[in-house]
Amino acid sequence: MIVSLRDAVASTSGGKAATLGALLRVGLPVPDGFVIPFDVYRAAVRGDGRDMTAGGIGAHPLPAGLFDALAPALRGLGDVSVAVRSSAAGEDTVHASGAGQHESVLAVRSVEDVAAAVLTCWDSLHSSRAIAYRSDPGDDHLLDGPVMAVLVQRLVDAEVSGVMFTPSGSEGATEIEASWGLGPSVVGGTVTPDAYRVAADGSVTRTVSDKRTRLDRDGAPFATGLVTRDVPTVDRDRPTLDGATVARLARLGHEVAALLGRPQDIEWAIAGEHVWVLQARPVTAAPPPAPSGAPVPFGAVLTGTPASHGTATGTARIVHGPADFARVRPGDILVCPYTDPAWTPLLRVAAGVVTEIGGVLSHAAIIARELRIPAVLGIPDATTTIPDGAHVTIDGTTGTIRHSSPWQDAAGTSCSTALRPTCTQLG
User: Which of the listed residues 154, 177, 210 is the one where a domain comes to its end?
Assistant: 154
Of the candidates 395, 398, 382, which has an alpha carbon nearest to the alpha carbon of residue 337? 382
pLDDT of residue 174: 97
Residue-level pLDDT at 100 = 62
Domain check: are 366 and 272 in the same one? Answer: no
Looking at the structure, do residues 123 and 22 belong to the same domain, yes or no? yes
Residue 129 covered by a domain: yes
Residue type, 291: P
pLDDT at 217: 94
Residues noted as catalytic: 363
Boundary residue ending a domain (135, 154, 173): 154
Question: Of 105, 128, 154, which residue is a domain's last?
Answer: 154
| 287 domain-assigned | no
Q: Are residues 138 and 37 in the same domain?
A: yes
Q: Which domain holds residue 35?
A: 3-154
Query: Which domain CATH number covers 365?
Result: 3.50.30.10
> Across the 427 residues of the chain, what is the mean pLDDT of every consecutive 10-residue run?
95 94 97 96 74 62 90 94 91 61 90 94 82 58 69 97 93 96 92 96 96 91 83 97 97 97 96 96 84 47 91 95 92 91 83 94 85 92 92 93 63 42 43
> Where does 272-418 show beta strands of DSSP type E?
274-282, 302-303, 305-308, 311-318, 333-336, 352-355, 375-377, 391-395, 400-404, 407-408
Would 87 be classed as within a structural domain? yes
Q: Please tell me whether residues 164 and 272 are part of one structural domain.
A: yes
- Whether residue 8 is found in the same domain as residue 150: yes
Same domain (yes/no): 138, 250: no
Residue 292 is assigned to a structural domain of this protein: no
**Distance (Å, rounded) from C-alpha 405 to C-alpha 166?**
41
CATH number, domain of 207, equals: 3.30.470.20
Residue 181 lies in a domain: yes
| Confidence at residue 146, expressed as pLDDT on a 0 to 100 scale | 83
pTM equals 0.85
Please tell me what DSSP assigns to residue 231. Answer: P
Same domain, 87 and 165: no
- Based on the domain organization, do 119 and 14 belong to the same domain? yes
Instruction: Give the 3-state secondary structure percentages of the chain, helix then strand then coil, rounded to 5.
Output: 30, 25, 45
What pLDDT, on a 0 to 100 scale, did the predictor assign at position 25? Answer: 97
Do 138 and 103 belong together in one domain?
yes
* Residue 295 within a domain: no
Tell me: do 150 and 8 sit in the same domain.
yes
**Rama region for 201: left / alpha / beta (φ>0; ψ in -120 to 50; rest):** alpha
Domains identified in the chain, total number: 3
Per-residue exposure over 180-209, b if at least 16 CB sit within 10 Å of its own CB, e if not: bbbbbbbbbbbbbbbbbbbeeeeebeeebb
Long-range contacts of 137-143 (CB under 8 A, 24+ apart): 138/95, 139/90, 139/95, 139/96, 141/89, 141/90, 141/93, 141/95, 141/96, 142/89, 142/90
CATH number assigned to the domain comprising residue 58? 3.30.1490.20
